[in-house]
Amino acid sequence: MVNESADFTTLKELLGVTDGNLASHAKALENDNYIIVEKQFIGKKPNTSYKATEAGRKAFREHIDALEKLIQKS
Amino acid sequence: MDTQNYLQDLKEIKDLMNKSSQFISLSGLSGILAGIYALIGAGVAYYLIENHDGYYITLESSTFKLILLTAALVLVASLLTAYLCTINKAKKVGEKVWNASSKRLLINFFIPLVTGGIFAILLLKNGYYGLVAPITLVFYGLACVNASKYTLRDVRYLGITEIILGLLAVEFSGYGLYFWVLGFGVCHIVYGTVMHFKYDRK
């Protein structure tokens, strides 16, 4: 894993998507148990951060492997 | 063929992984300029030493204070240039100058660097003049190796080179200024050029 966890704002900046877009994708990943969501308060501000689960990491690796196999096939 | 899309996907994933953990806006150009400043500073220091009125340069002498001032100016000029070049490049690349990666980069760079700086000052204070130049090079190299995890990989090789130069400088005590010319002048120009042509002109 490149990063242990990432918070909402960092991801939003990195991916260049809207709040709603990011939130819905995160919800979908959470429903599949690929990530866990941690909500806390930093001082008075709410902070949401995401961590990959073991299942999520496995799925990611399999996805990368599949992509590489498809590229090698041609 | 769909292979194009898959390649594109993989590339995007790899880019995201790099972007989220490495600060990529480090500019090779600032390295070249820092090297030039260092060479100029070394020239000034050499001139000051040649024109010093005595056999030894003591810590209280004006010559020493001027040499220190020169070194400080070189450092400030290099940092300022690096800051400006980085802002410029970050804008072009679409990275924010102040983000998680750059914060980690700075912290991990400054820990060995400040340690080396304090070490060097203590050496001066206790009369180990011959070790000052080697120590500054070694710790600068260690700082670069440590920081390279959070930015462009080439900085790692610059760091290793500086460490080797620093260790050699111990054996050639008395040629500190020449090793500084090599380490802070020539190396920065060489690595800065490599990085500039590799990254700055995409």
Q: Is residue B16 part of a domain?
A: no
- Number of compact structural domains in chain B: 1
CA torsion sign, B155 to B161 to B165 to B168? positive
Token output for B69: 């001032």
Is residue B160 scored above 90 in pLDDT?
yes
Per the model's pLDDT, the better-predicted residue between B18 and A11 turns out to be A11
Q: Which residues of B touch A68 (CB under 8 A)?
A: 10
Give the Cα-Cα-Cα angle B53, B59, B60 (nearest 5 degrees): 75
Q: Look at B13 and A64 and tell me if their CB atoms are within 8 Å.
A: yes
**What is the average pLDDT across B37-64?**
82
What element of type H or E holds A46?
strand A45-52
Q: Is A74 on the interface with B (CB under 8 A)?
A: yes
Q: Which residues of A touch B17 (CB under 8 A)?
A: 2
**Nearest CA among B28, B24, B27 for reference residue B101:** B24
Q: Look at B100 and A10 and tell me if their CB atoms are within 8 Å.
A: yes
Site from A12, A14, A57 to mutate, B interface, most B CB atoms within 10 angstroms: A14
Q: Is residue B96 part of a domain?
A: yes
Q: Is B93 on the interface with A (CB under 8 A)?
A: no
Token output for B148: 């390279």
Give per-residue burial for A25-61: e unless 16+ CB within 10 Å, then b. ebeebeeeebbeeeeeeeeeeeeebbebeeebeebee
- Number of compact structural domains in chain A: 1
**Nearest CA among B110, B136, B106 for reference residue B122:** B136
Q: Is residue B22 part of a domain?
A: no
Distance from CA of A2 to the nearest CA of B (A): 6
Q: Each residue of B119-133: pLDDT tens digit? A: 998 998 888 888 888
Residue pair B139/B124 in contact by the 8 Å Cβ criterion? no
Q: Which residues of B touch A74 (CB under 8 A)?
A: 1, 3
| Domain CATH number, residue A60 | 1.10.10.10
- Look at residue B97 in the predicted model and tell me its pLDDT: 80
Quote the domain boundaries for residue A15: 5-72
Quote the domain boundaries for residue B87: 27-200
Q: Each residue of B84-133: pLDDT tens digit? A: 998 888 888 777 788 778 888 899 999 999 999 999 989 988 888 888 88
Token output for B6: 């898959």
Instruction: Give pLDDT < 70 ranges for chain A.
Output: 74
Q: Round to whole Å and give the CA distance between B7 and B182.
A: 42
Q: Each residue of B140-157: pLDDT tens digit? A: 999 999 999 888 888 999
- Look at residue A68 in the predicted model and tell me its pLDDT: 86
Q: Round to whole Å and give the CA distance between B140 and B116.
A: 7
Q: What pTM value is reported for the model?
A: 0.76
Q: How does residue B50 score in pLDDT terms, banded at 50, 70 and 90?
A: confident
Averaged pLDDT score across all residues of chain B: 87
